[in-house]
Amino acid sequence: MLTLQSVNSFYGGSHILHDVNFSLETGKILSVLGRNGVGKSTLLKTLMGLTSSMTGSLTLNELELGDQTTFYRARSGMGYVPQGREIIPDFSVKENILMGRFADQTSKGEIPDIVPELFPYLMDNLDRAGGLLSGGQQQQLAIARAIATNPQVLLLDEPTEGIQPNIVEQIEDCILRLNKELNLTIILVEQNIRFAKRASDEFLILDNGRLVCQGSGNELTDDLANQYLTI
């Protein structure tokens, strides 16, 4: 479904990702792991076309996206929840969600049916400004906005970082539901090894912008975590 071949990514003259290769099948969850600053977020931004430039091949369902704009990639099936959420604080909850609909060519401008099931709080507060929500509620809003794009692949950049503990489990369960019930393919940048082990069909580990290890979820061992992920 999604294939990267010899992908290099750059911020200006800085070479961040080096010859990254992987393929991901439909309906799988891939966890992207590594220490801080090794290129995990850059990988997701590269997929969305948000770095200065990239070389190599990026295909989604055999459609080459490597030279396409961010908007075209969203229209082609890439949904993205960035680190820090980046909701529009002065927009209402409803307006933030419906922003995602601009990327869905089949949409009638309505909130997706699964959003009320996953996030009843948002539905009870549609007219509330997004900036008044707690961090965990804003994360739910950012996920709802990404779902509204009707994605084939959902990119999640540390979705439980800085979230109050009572909402972390809700977000983790939401991710698993999206995968199981919608057969949604997910790429998850995550520092929580426990959740990565629980959720992942596959994993890859980055170090200094290079892919140093990858495998199936059950191969993500404590030894690997100690080798590549501890400080």
Give 142-155 pLDDT, tens digit per residue. 999 999 999 999 99
**What pLDDT score was predicted for residue 92?**
97
Lowest mean pLDDT among 7-11, 162-166, 176-180: 162-166
The proportion of the chain whose per-residue pLDDT surpasses 70, expressed as a percent, equals 98
pLDDT digits (tens, 9 = 90+) for 32-86: 999 888 999 999 999 999 999 999 999 999 999 999 999 999 999 999 999 988 9
Would you say residue 104 has pLDDT above 80? no
Pick the closest to residue 133 from 80, 190, 88 (CA basis). Answer: 88
**Domain 2-86+151-228, what fold?**
Rossmann fold (3.40.50)
**What pLDDT score was predicted for residue 199?**
92
Give the 3-state secondary structure of residue 29. Answer: strand
The proportion of the chain whose per-residue pLDDT surpasses 90, expressed as a percent, equals 75
Copy the structure tokens of residue 20.
Answer: 């990254």
- Strand ranges in the chain using DSSP code E only, listed in sequence order: 2-11, 14-24, 29-33, 53-60, 63-64, 78-81, 153-157, 185-189, 202-207, 210-216
What count of Cα atoms within 13 Å lies in the side-chain half-sphere of residue 184? 28
Would you say residue 231 has pLDDT above 80? no
Would you say residue 163 has pLDDT above 90? no
Would you say residue 223 has pLDDT above 90? no
Would you say residue 174 has pLDDT above 70? yes
pTM of the model: 0.93
**Average pLDDT of 177-181?**
93
Look over the chain and give the mean of its residue pLDDT values, rounded to a whole number: 92
